[in-house]
Structure 1
Amino acid sequence: MTTPTTDPGAAGPGAGAGEPAAGRRSWLREHSELGVCVLLSALGVLLLTDALTMDVDIAQRGPVGPRTVPVVVGGGLLVAAALLAADVLRGGRGRAETGEDVDLSEPADWRTVLLLTGVFLGAAVLIEPLGFPVAGALLFWGAAFALGSRRPDRDPLIAAVVSFVTYAVFDNLLGVPLPGGPLMGVL
């Protein structure tokens, strides 16, 4: 019994001509996650470039300006890309997803989709006359209701607190003016 040989020249002249390309394709197939690294790196560089070339009057903004979030997110994308590339090159592989807990034979829940759409459009229309705190509270409560929460004792209170805290953080701490509406004139 003979064992197969691994000598490329043993199969005859010209038999190994396509092997470097095939080997390269095989290596790329085994390391396909590097494509995600390239995408993450490109997005990170794009964000950093846009943020650092932004024309901003720093004297009016304070310590946290419009460059902060894009710089942090762009830097985070570059770090994530580098860590993922290092893991892939060391032999790490992503696991195939086993599936979601969704029954594809069931029809779409159009009631929820339409409720969420209505709540969002309603908040967009009401934000100018009522202000962000009231429109935001209606948005948060309406979204919770549309997604199935049925706690009338708790949901409106949580929605109001989240909306007012969001308004205070953006308007007072970050310097992003939001419409306060008539309620902010009273408070």
Structure 2
Amino acid sequence: MNSQESPATQSTDASARPAGPRSWLREHSEIGVSVLLFLIGVLVLADALTMDVDIAQRGPVGPKTVPIAVGIGLLVIAVLLAVDVVRGGHGEAEGGEDVDLSEPSDWRTVLLLAGVFLGFAVLIGPLGFPIAGALLFWGAAFALGSRQFHRDPLIAASLALVTYYIFNNLLGVPLPGGPLMGVL
């Protein structure tokens, strides 16, 4: 500070400056997101590198490739975000979508979707992917507001069967077939 400044000017300058590490963290709160992304990236990489693969690899891309790529991607994004935030970058405030932030959360939809996913996890073993997947797709459409009862189950069944066929027959990723095991 200049020695020629008045005491009133010096006190306003001091109050305008944030004091302490707590205010720095408040101004750079996006650092928390980058730390979380970094930790998830480390977890994904550690899990991928310690994965015990018993199946024979077909071609140059094995079962570890995608998790390793995702883990590296998470680490790179975390570092780039942290550098951007430290240099003064900030995320834009919410406001571009047609979301009214003053409205409460739609817990009915959240709970319905959670129930649909839980039901899928329970039913995939005994019913197989085609039936459980159809229930998942139809239940998610219903939870999100679709009431086309003549159309939605047909689309859900088609999506489930196509997904099952692609993964099971074309990609070689075995999904449980359930009662339809011999048919498909």
Amino acid at match of 1:66: P
Superposition pairs for residues 4-43 of structure 1, below 5 Å?
Answer: 4=6, 22=19, 26-43=23-40
1:101 and 2:103 matched = no
3-state SS, counterpart of residue 157 of structure 2: helix
Tell me the TM-score normalised to structure 1 length. Answer: 0.68
Aligned CA distance change for structure 1 residues 29 and 131 (closer, same or farther; 3 Å): closer
Aligned CA distance change for structure 1 residues 130 and 53 (closer, same or farther; 3 Å): closer
Shift of 1:74: 0.9
Amino acid at match of 1:62: R
Tell me the TM-score normalised to structure 2 length. Answer: 0.69
Shift of 1:32: 3.1
Q: Structure 2 CA distance, aligned partners of 1:30 and 1:118?
A: 38
Partner residue, 1:161? 158
Partner residue, 1:3? 5
3-state SS, counterpart of residue 79 of structure 2: helix
Shift of 1:24: 5.2
Partner residue, 1:148? 145
Shift of 1:84: 1.0
For this pair of structures, how many residues does the alignment match?
Answer: 168
CA RMSD in angstroms comes to 3.4
Aligned CA distance change for structure 1 residues 142 and 49 (closer, same or farther; 3 Å): closer
Q: Structure 2 CA distance, aligned partners of 1:27 and 1:114?
A: 37
Partner residue, 1:176? 173
Partner residue, 1:92? 89
Stretches of structure 1 that go unaligned for 5 or more consecutive residues are: 9-21
Partner residue, 2:14? none
Conserved 8 A contact 1:61-1:175: no
Which of residues 52, 57, 70 is equivalent to 1:55?
Answer: 52
Shift of 1:28: 4.2
Aligned CA distance change for structure 1 residues 4 and 40 (closer, same or farther; 3 Å): farther
